[in-house]
């Protein structure tokens, strides 16, 4: 997979969500989990989304149960959790694997484009973030420890604000 816009992961209803529709947008992709110490990051992610969605920002959450089994619910339960507890309005797609042989193509692509600490490609925990620019290039990768609010500056820059 050599092009971000060729990817088409499945949405919450298991229908393709073609990334070709994300052209000219700045995208944040984050692997999420409902029972994680980092789960409150939903709040700041939602704030970023509301603030910049009209300027071209989109955030995509990929639920993943690979880290401490902290996303064990069904896709419906996850959607409901995000909306009820954090008022999430950005798309939460279908639950996937981000590491290992069954990792989703989206994550295979992202990891191949940007490594983490020491050059490890694997996702370390929930709420790692990737920013993709308007041309579909992976701009940067941020660890779970990076607060979503601290992404505001690079996002503004990439949005041309």
Partner 1 sequence: MSDEETVQELSAELICEYLTKAIEDLKETNDYISYATLLDIHLSDAERYSDDEKSLILKTLIKVLEENPDISYEIGWDLPELLLGFFDLEWDFEGSLLRSTDVIKNVMNAFDVIAKSGNPKELFLRSIELLSGLDYSSLVGEDDKASKIMDIKLHVLIELLSTSLKRISTIYPSKFLAMALAALLKSYVSYNNVTSNVRIIARRLYLFARDYIPPLKPVDYIEQHGLTQEEADKLDDDENYLQRTLLQSFLTHIFGISFKTRSPSNSLHLYGSLQSKNTGKFPKFVIKSEGYEDDQTSSTKILFVRIITLMLSYDIEIEDEFTKLKEESVELFSNIDSNLEEDEKIQNVLKIAINDKVSHLFHPETEKIPINSSGLLVSIIYHALETQKILPISVSEAIALALRFLSPGVMSESFNNFGLYDAVLFWSWAAIRNATSSDFKNIPKYQIILYLQILVFYSSTTSDSDYRMITITLFTRVLSLIDESIAYDFIINTLTTAPYENAKACIILILKDLSIRERVNVDDISDKLSKTTITKEENKTLPKLPKRHYIELTKSRLEDVYALIRETIDDTFQENGEFASSEKFKLLLSYINFLITFKNKFAGDEIIEIKKACEQKVKNYKNSNKNPPSELQNGDNIEFLTLSLEFL
**Catalytically active residues, by annotation:** 36
Least Å distance, CB 65 to partner 1, is 10
d(CA 22, CA 111): 19
Pick the closer one to partner 1 by CB: 46 or 71. Answer: 71
CB of 36 to partner 1, least distance (A): 13
For residue 122, state whether it binds partner 1 (rule: CB under 8 A).
Answer: yes
Name which position in 2, 100, 153, 160 contacts partner 1 (CB under 8 A): 100
* Residue 124 in the binding site for partner 1 (CB under 8 A): yes
Q: Is 113 in the site for partner 1 (CB under 8 A)?
A: no
Q: Quote the least distance from Cβ 9 to partner 1, whole Å.
A: 19
Query: How many residues form the binding site for partner 1 (CB under 8 A)?
Result: 16
Which residues 18-77 are close enough to bind partner 1 by CB under 8 A? 66-68
Instruction: Measure the CA–CA gap between 56 and 23, rounded to whole angstroms.
Output: 10
How far is residue 53's CA from residue 69's CA, in Å, rounded to a whole number? 31
Region near partner 1 per CB under 8 A, out of 15-23, 36-44, 87-95, 100-108: 100-108
Name the residue nearer to partner 1 (CB basis): 145 or 161: 145
Q: What does the H/E/C string look like for the chain? A: CCCHHHCCCECCCCCECCHHHHCCCEEEEEEECCCCCCCCHHHHHHHHHHHHHHHCEEEEEEECCCCCCCCCCCHHHHHHHHHHHHCCCCCECCCCECCCCCECHHHHHHHHHCCCHHHCCCCCCCCCEEEECCCCCEEEEECCCCCHHHHHHHHHHHHCC
How near is the Cβ of 124 to partner 1 at its closest, in Å? 5
Binding site for partner 1 (CB under 8 A): 66-68, 99-102, 117-125
């Amino acid at each position: 997979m050599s092009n971000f816009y060729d990817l088409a992961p499945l949405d919450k209803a298991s229908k393709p969500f073609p990334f070709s529709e994300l052209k000219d947008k700045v995208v944040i992709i984050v692997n999420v989990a409902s029972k994680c110490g980092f789960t409150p990051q939903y709040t700041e992610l939602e704030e970023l989304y509301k603030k910049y969605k009209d300027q071209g920002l989109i955030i995509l959450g990929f639920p993943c149960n690979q880290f401490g089994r902290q996303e064990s619910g069904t896709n419906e339960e996850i959607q409901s959790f995000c909306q009820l507890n954090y008022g999430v309005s950005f798309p939460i797609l279908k639950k996937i694997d981000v590491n290992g042989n069954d990792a989703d193509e989206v994550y295979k692509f992202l990891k191949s484009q940007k490594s983490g600490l020491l050059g490890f490609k694997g996702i370390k925990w929930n709420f790692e973030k990737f920013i993709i620019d308007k041309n579909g290039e992976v701009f940067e990768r941020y660890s779970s420890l990076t607060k979503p609010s601290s992404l505001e500056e690079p996002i503004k820059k990439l949005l041309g604000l």
